[in-house]
Structures are given as structure tokens and as C-alpha cells.
Amino acid sequence: MNTWGVRLSPFARNTVLICSLIVIASGFAWMVLGWLVDVQDYTDPLHTLRHRMLVLHGITAYVLVWMAGRLSSLHQQGNWRAHRNRGNGLLLTAVLALLAVSGLCLYYPPHEDWRETISQLHQGLGIALALMLPLHLLAARALRRISSRPDNAR
Ligand code: HEM
Ligand code: HEM
């Protein structure tokens, strides 16, 4: 079995999940710190912490995009062709792609006035990813249970 194949090895699965967790947690931390920080007071240590969270987020987000690329040929295309977890997988892939595009637009907004809207959209998609990833794992577990039944070859 290929490590990054149709079925992920425990190493590949854990790598994807840990990286996703850091991206999601740092994004949420940035949001929560935004409610707590005094925006006028630049001596507030929470400002520095919030900035560090964003740096961590930006770096790990790049790694996650790279991992999604690594999953693409065998995991995504292989399971798609085998009709396994299609709806959920497609939605997860679409959300990741939109996150990558909106993330890029945060670096280079097409118009400065649009940045706030793009930021809200990106945050909404981030929350969607945080909800969809556990659903993907639950669906994967259910599929494994079904295929391990002796009366089911698939
Ligand atoms: C069209 C897109 C996709 C399809 C059709 C798909 C399908 C599947 C299927 C069928 C499984 C269960 C494999 C098994 O029997 O063990 C699975 C597991 C998994 N998928 Fe996907 N997937 C897609 C995209 C993605 C993406 C974009 C990610 C993450 C960035 C992802 C992460 C995972 C992980 C971590 C597991 C392992 C779950 C576990 O072992 O408990 N998948 N996927
Ligand atoms: C593949 C997934 C993702 C990618 C590629 C991505 C990329 C980015 C990038 C490039 C930035 C701009 C960083 C900067 O201005 O220094 C950003 C900001 C941000 N991201 Fe993500 N991100 C992803 C997932 C998420 C998730 C899951 C959340 C969860 C909530 C999230 C929440 C945020 C927040 C709150 C910001 C700050 C927004 C702002 O500056 O106005 N992102 N992201």
C-alpha cells in the first residue's frame, strides 16, 4: 500500500491531520484574540501573539496546500474513480481550494476596499473546513467498517 495512496497510512493520515489542526487552531486563535485585543494599544502583548499566530497560520497553510497536492493523484482521484466518499471529498477539496484562493487574495487584494469582505469569506470557509474534516473522517471510518464486513468485497 502506498503511504499517500487511496487509503492513507497512519503516518500520512496523522501528518495531514496535525497540519490541518495547526492551520485551523491558529486561524481561530487570530479571531479570538481579535475580540480580546485593544486595537488602539500597540503595547498590548496580545498584538504580538496575534501576529505570531498569523505567521504560524501562513506557514502551515502553505504546507497544507502542498499536502493536498500530494493527496491529489492517488487519494482524491483514486477514491473518486472508485466512487468512495465522493460528495464529502469533493466538498472538502473545493473548500480547500477556495481557502487557498481567498488566502492569496488576503496577501494581494484585487482592491483594498475588498480586503475586509475577503477576510470574512476566508474565515467562513475556515469554519466550514473545521466542520467538514471530522465529517470526512467519520465517513472514512464508516466506509472501512462496511468494507471489512465478510459479506462485502468493496
Ligand atoms: C475528491 C476528494 C476526496 C475523496 C473522494 C476522498 C475519499 C476518501 C475515502 C474514501 C477515505 C477512506 C479511505 C479508507 O478506506 O481508509 C478517505 C480518508 C481520508 N481522507 Fe479523503 N478524500 C478526498 C479528499 C481529501 C482531502 C482534500 C483531504 C485532506 C486534506 C482528505 C483527507 C483524508 C484523511 C486524513 C483520511 C483518513 C481518515 C482515517 O484514516 O481515519 N481527503 N478519503
Ligand atoms: C488551505 C487552507 C488555508 C490557507 C491556504 C490559508 C491561507 C491564509 C493566508 C495566506 C492568510 C493571510 C496571512 C497574512 O495576512 O499574513 C490567511 C489569513 C487568515 N486565515 Fe487562513 N488559510 C487557510 C485556512 C484557514 C482556516 C481553516 C481558518 C480557520 C478559521 C483560517 C483563518 C484565517 C484568518 C482568521 C486569517 C486572518 C484574516 C485577516 O488577516 O483578515 N484560514 N489565511
The region that residue 85 occupies, defined by phi over 0 for left and psi between -120 and 50 for alpha, beta otherwise, is left
Q: Does residue 152 sit within a domain?
A: no
* Cβ(96) – ligand 1 distance below 6 Å: yes
* pTM, to two decimals: 0.92
| Residue whose C-alpha is closest to residue 154's, from 143, 139, 141 | 143
The range of the structural domain enclosing residue 132 comes to: 10-147
Q: What are the residues whose beta carbons fall under 8 Å from the beta carbon of 15, sequence distance 6 or more?
A: 67
Q: Does residue 46 sit within a domain?
A: yes
Quote the strand ranges of the chain, DSSP E. none
Q: Does residue 139 sit within a domain?
A: yes
Amino acid at 14: N
Q: Does residue 1 sit within a domain?
A: no
CA of 154 from ligand 1 middle (Å) equals 16
For 6-37, write each residue's pLDDT tens digit: 889 999 999 999 999 999 999 999 999 999 99
Cα angle: 137, vertex 139, 145; to 5 degrees: 105
Q: Does residue 37 sit within a domain?
A: yes
Q: Does residue 25 sit within a domain?
A: yes
Number of domains within the chain: 1
Q: Does residue 112 sit within a domain?
A: yes
Per-residue pLDDT of the chain (154 residues; tens, 9 = 90+): 567 888 899 999 999 999 999 999 999 999 999 999 987 888 899 999 999 999 999 999 999 999 999 999 899 999 999 999 999 999 999 999 999 999 999 999 999 999 999 999 999 999 999 999 999 999 999 988 888 888 765 4
Q: Does residue 117 sit within a domain?
A: yes
The answer to whether the beta carbons of residues 9 and 3 sit under 8 Å apart is: yes
> Where does ligand 2 bind, in terms of residues with CB under 6 Å?
23-24, 27-28, 30-31, 54, 57-58, 61, 64-65, 96, 99-100, 103, 106-107, 119, 122-123, 126-127, 129
